[in-house]
Structure 1
Amino acid sequence: MIGLDDPFWEQVKCGYGVLYNPVPALRRLEAAQTAKEESQAFVELWDNLHHQGDLGIGSYACVPQIVRIGHVRAPMTPDFFALIAVIEIERHENGNPKMSREFVDDYLHALSLIPDLIAKASPPKWDQSMIGSTCSALAASKGNRLLARAYLEMTEDNAIPFLREEIGYEP
């Protein structure tokens, strides 16, 4: 995994196709002690690592760091899982750059740790956003991008009509 002190981060392109150094946001994420602090770090990461489906090499390089941070201290918000899921989903779409060989092993290893990270999560509450993002990250980590996308998009409001139509479910 590329260390946070590596000069790589100062010359990497992310979601807008422009240079962005995610190290300060990753350090804030690592130091976060509350869900609010974690969310604030993720606002910057979301804004810069992913833009309307566009990713950059730096987006891929951040995934192992985000997972590492999640193992240092338990994830508290859905963003931990949703951002990883979105990066893995979009990595295969929208003409995003291929991942270079130097990242593949660390990236895939990070994805393999998602089930453990989910088990370690400690959100203030397991609401539908947290459940959807963890299910999405799990599906993405196992290579099922279609279900990963569905879990991100599914809410209780749109689940009822779907279940009603598919199996005649009435709550």
Structure 2
Amino acid sequence: MLALDDPLWGSLQHAYGDARDVPVLLRALAASPEPQEDPEAEPWFSLWSSLCHQGDAHTASYAAVPHLVEIGGQFAGQLDFNFLLLPTAIEVARRTGRGPALPAVLGDAYLGAIARLPDLVSIHRHEPWDQAMLLSAAAAQAVAKGHIDVAEALMNLDDDWIGRINRGEVE
């Protein structure tokens, strides 16, 4: 895993340029990992907009994922669904051509973190889950097992789609 003080962050890219600010965001998340009610709450808002802007991944996205999984795994409280959904969205982007090639220097840590997403789900399985957490957990497990299309479908489910499916309105 790329250390947060590694100078390589400056050569990695996110949606807005170089990724020197990502370690600051990850440190802020580690200091306050509790679920947030406001979807624009920091640091999640900046992490999403930088690392998976409009569904695209970047080299900094790959470096951040192991940190997200580690922070989520170490947190003893109720997990914010973004700990599962952001790594899942980044892997879907990578696997569907909406991200650059995975740099070799980041590969082992990144792929290992994706493989550990089901462990993160398991660690937090006894907590109360709302629909967002349930869908994120299911999508994370799908992406970790290589079912990219299923993960992407789960990420796109919302109340409207679920209702339409249940009423048989989707062909």
TM bracket, shorter-chain basis: 0.7 to 0.9
CA RMSD of aligned residues (A): 2.5
8 Å contact 1:29–1:37 — kept in the other structure?
A: no
Q: What 5-or-longer segments of structure 2 have no aligned partner? A: none
- DSSP 3-state at the match of 1:165: coil
Q: CA-to-partner distance for each residue in 1:31-87, whole Å, 9 max, x for gaps?
A: 115323995221110011111222211111111111111122146211111101100
Deviating above 6 A after TM superposition, structure 1's stretches of 4 or more consecutive aligned residues are none
Distance in 2 (CA, whole Å) between partners of 1:100 and 1:40 is 28
Percent of pairs identical after alignment? 33
8 Å contact 1:81–1:134 — kept in the other structure?
A: yes
Q: CA-to-partner distance for each residue in 1:127-154, whole Å, 9 max, x for gaps?
A: 1111111111111111111010111111
Deviates more, 1:141-150 or 1:25-34: 25-34
Distance in 2 (CA, whole Å) between partners of 1:143 and 1:160 is 27
Aligned to 2:23: 23
Aligned to 1:145: 148
Alignment partner of 1:119 out of 105, 118, 122 = 122
8 Å contact 2:56–2:90 — kept in the other structure?
A: no
Aligned to 1:50: 52
Aligned to 1:65: 67
Distance in 1 (CA, whole Å) between partners of 2:123 and 2:144 is 16
Amino acid at match of 1:128: Q
* CA gap 1:95/1:87 in 2 versus in 1, 3 angstroms: closer
Distance in 1 (CA, whole Å) between partners of 2:15 and 2:52 is 4
TM-superposed deviation, 1:94:
4.1
Q: What 5-or-longer segments of structure 1 have no aligned partner? A: 167-171
* CA gap 1:32/1:95 in 2 versus in 1, 3 angstroms: closer
8 Å contact 1:35–1:123 — kept in the other structure?
A: no
Distance in 1 (CA, whole Å) between partners of 2:127 and 2:113 is 24
Distance in 1 (CA, whole Å) between partners of 2:64 and 2:159 is 31
Deviates more, 1:56-65 or 1:25-34: 25-34
- DSSP 3-state at the match of 2:55: coil
